[in-house]
Structure 1
Amino acid sequence: MSPDTVLKNYWNGNEEFADLFNAVLFGGSQVIKPYELENEDTEASVLLEHRDHTQSIKAVRDNIKIQKKSTVYGVQFVLLGLESQEHIHYAMPLRVMGYDYATYKKQYDSLTRQYKEHKTDMDEHEFLSRMKKTDRLTPVISVVIYYGEKVWDAATSLYGILNIPTEMASYVNDYRMLLVEARQNDLYFHNGNNRDLFNLFKILLDQNNSIRDKKEKAIEYTKEHEVSDTILKTVAGAANCKIDFDALKQEGGNSMWSVFEETAKEGEARGEVRGKAEGIIDTCSDLGLPDEDILKRLQVKLNISLQAAQEYLRIFGKKTV
């Protein structure tokens, strides 16, 4: 199972998801309740309309949930999106902006379809806008979690990737993203699984400690806190590792570390393949090649299965066949 899939499965839990957003947005205060959350469709297709042509773009989020919070005056809605990032991405603010736009556009398109189907009465300005003056879209909040060893040295807002003339700066809109580094953060978690997950990441991703120190600390933490299989699987999956859980239960924490240690090179190799796959996909997309041809090139050049090629195509934001 790929790291992306493992992390998506973990953050699909309402308890863990709510606790994360409470930690990032509210310093740990329990503002978002797990029972208020419902899963939303992670895929949004956006049709960009240019003067002389249209362009279809598919944006696929890792996790997105809608908060439906009861209030005195009705129901309050907020969309919460989560992106898991294994590698530093220097255009990440742009990607997050694209994800959020796609989510807003999906809501807008839904409104326009409803009005068209029900032939709703609208004045000339509303008809032109395909939206009523009183309509309001559901706000979107996105969080990016970075699981890499290196310090995140990429921008965390749109300004960071723009070359803005000084005299124009006050007129250029910024777009910031909320970044969490698994390797080091000061988040306060109530959920025990989240605490164990991030504490183990801090240990395993700390470049200031030797492998021996990491090993001892990880084993000590795992035994002392009786870390669950779910967390071990998630940490292992995010680190491209495979854990023999039968051996783990028999031999204790040492077997956990040995598996991490033995598969470190395998993880590095997968990282190289991912980088090559992204390059191939970008090049083929620029050439306008269909997905079928891109999948064939991925299989031949990387010597991978069709399923693996489809997964890479999905990860890097392209539609699968």
Structure 2
Amino acid sequence: MAEKDIAEKQLLSYADVFANIMNVILFQGDEVVHPEELTDVLPQSTYKVDGKLRQQERDVAKLWKNSELRLALFGIENQSAVDRTMPLRIIGYDGAAYRNELNDKNEKMYPVVTVVLYFGCEQRWKKPRCLKDCFQIPERLNPYVSDYHINVIEVAWLPDEMIAKFSNPFRMVAEYFSQMRKDQEYHPSEEAVRHAKEMLDLMALLTDDVRFTEAKENVKEGESMTMRSILLDKIEARGEARGEARGEARGEARGEARGEARGTEKTWVASARNIMKNMQLTAQQAVEAISVPMDLRAKVLEQL
């Protein structure tokens, strides 16, 4: 669990990545926050339950001090599943940060800004985005209940023009989730990746795409690599090792599918699904690998 937590936070903890994310989300891409103005803040805080002290921990937190001496604490929370209690969690983190300010008499007071990065691409964030939505509040009591809004960023639903404002590697992370939501396929960039190992660690944890897990084992420190070379070229390299198996799969598929008047659409679908499962290929790669007839290809793809 500790290793997972570290991998999940490492990429976003880089000052250049953190500053870029904040600039795009909070300042429409203007370079307001500079990496050299950020300092790490201990993400842990404590609270008491039944007389016992317990710990809570943000994913990433940094203190920002710009040239005008304004201070702000920025927090980032990674979230791959919708969480209806998120407003309660965020108010706990932010409240602990403000409590620390009260305890430190020598420090200037500063605001706290927390951003929740939601990486789900199958469903939108339809759970509470503010404290009041977590409860059923009687109408007459509602005016007296203080509210607290949270900033949820649905990464997979960001507009393309906003994603383009991110610098790599977070732009590539956002592109992956956006493309998977819209097309169920990922088309890797040919741009060299910065912080490649950390990005692959994060993607391996956030997705079910086994290519990221396999690829991160082959990334060497300091080596210049593109997302295409990391993922697609790796598949092509494996192709030679799998050539025999793929050839047999293709021959079997052709034999079955062409046995009776070139076979049936159902047979091609079954064969494509089998090769997708065994070789971790996309639907498009599978139909090409087993040479599905062009007149049937669109119908087969619809069912994969």
Query: Where does residue 14 of structure 1 map in the other structure?
Result: 15
Runs of 4+, deviation exceeding 6 Å: 255-258, 260-264
> Could you tell me which amino acid in structure 2 is paired with residue 238 of structure 1?
L
Matched, 1:70 2:67: yes
Q: 1:235 aligns with which of 203, 207, 214?
A: 203
Q: 1:252 aligns with which of 227, 233, 237?
A: 233
> Could you tell me which amino acid in structure 1 is paired with residue 71 of structure 2?
F
Paired-residue identity, %: 23
Where structure 2 has 5 or more consecutive residues not aligned to the other structure, the ranges are: 220-228, 240-275, 281-304
Aligned 8 A contact 1:59 1:102 in 2:
no
Matched, 1:162 2:143: no
Aligned 8 A contact 1:233 1:243 in 2:
no
CA gap of 1:249–1:146, structure 2 versus 1, over 3 A, is closer
CA gap of 1:17–1:24, structure 2 versus 1, over 3 A, is same
Query: Where does residue 177 of structure 1 map in the other structure?
Result: 150
For these two proteins, the number of residue pairs brought into alignment is 224
Counterpart Cα distance in 2 of 1:94 and 1:198: 26
Query: Where does residue 280 of structure 1 map in the other structure?
Result: none
Which residues of 2 match residues 248-287 of structure 1 at below 5 A? 252=233, 254=235
Provide the TM-score with structure 2 as the length reference: 0.64
CA gap of 1:29–1:261, structure 2 versus 1, over 3 A, is farther
Q: SS state of the match for residue 140, structure 2?
A: helix
Aligned 8 A contact 1:142 1:177 in 2:
yes
Counterpart Cα distance in 2 of 1:138 and 1:251: 46
**Which of the two has higher C-alpha Rg?**
2
Counterpart Cα distance in 2 of 1:36 and 1:65: 10
Q: SS state of the match for residue 81, structure 2?
A: coil
* Structure 1 residue 36 displacement after superposition: 0.6
Provide the TM-score with structure 1 as the length reference: 0.61
Counterpart Cα distance in 1 of 2:24 and 2:115: 11
> Could you tell me which amino acid in structure 1 is paired with residue 25 of structure 2?
V
CA gap of 1:261–1:196, structure 2 versus 1, over 3 A, is farther
Query: Where does residue 98 of structure 1 map in the other structure?
Result: 92
Q: SS state of the match for residue 153, structure 1?
A: coil
Q: 1:81 aligns with which of 68, 75, 84?
A: 75
* Structure 1 residue 190 displacement after superposition: 4.1
Counterpart Cα distance in 1 of 2:126 and 2:90: 17
Counterpart Cα distance in 2 of 1:136 and 1:148: 37
Where structure 1 has 5 or more consecutive residues not aligned to the other structure, the ranges are: 115-134, 265-321
* Structure 1 residue 87 displacement after superposition: 1.6
Counterpart Cα distance in 2 of 1:195 and 1:250: 16
Matched, 1:138 2:110: yes
Higher RCO (CA 8 Å, separation ≥ 6 residues): 1
Provide the aligned C-alpha RMSD in A.
Answer: 3.3
> Could you tell me which amino acid in structure 2 is paired with residue 173 of structure 1?
S
Q: 2:56 aligns with which of 53, 56, 59?
A: 59
* Structure 1 residue 106 displacement after superposition: 2.0
